[in-house]
Amino acid sequence: MKEWPREDIEKQLRGNEPAMIYFYTPLCGTCQLAGKMLGVAATLFQDVPIGQANLNFVPEFAEILTIESVPCLVIFKNGKIKEKLYAFHSVPYLVEKINASLKE
């Protein structure tokens, strides 16, 4: 996954296309594991932009998107938040949740 700067995140917030942004912090062990699982799941969604952002460098998005903790995957569709995932149980679980959010 590519690290998205503030401008790319803002662009996705204004857009109508589906997109996913993975928020993490580098010292979070759970975030590292979740990032690896999301990297595997992301291979099935190559037509959907997926970026990641270190919340330490873009803290304003924690407030804007009401992110309660990390790791957090925010799924957007039609300019709105469809889902916020905090628990990354397994790759199949992630794929199922992402598919459900994108189909709604």
pLDDT band at 1 (very low <50, low <70, confident <90, very high): confident
Nearest to 42 by CA among 81, 86, 99: 99
Options 3.40.50.720, 3.20.20.240, 3.40.30.10, 3.30.465.10; CATH for 2-88 is: 3.40.30.10
Position 70 pLDDT exceeds 90: yes
pTM for this prediction: 0.93
Distance between CA atoms of residues 84 and 102, nearest Å: 12
Nearest to 20 by CA among 93, 28, 89, 39: 39
Across 65-80, average pLDDT: 93
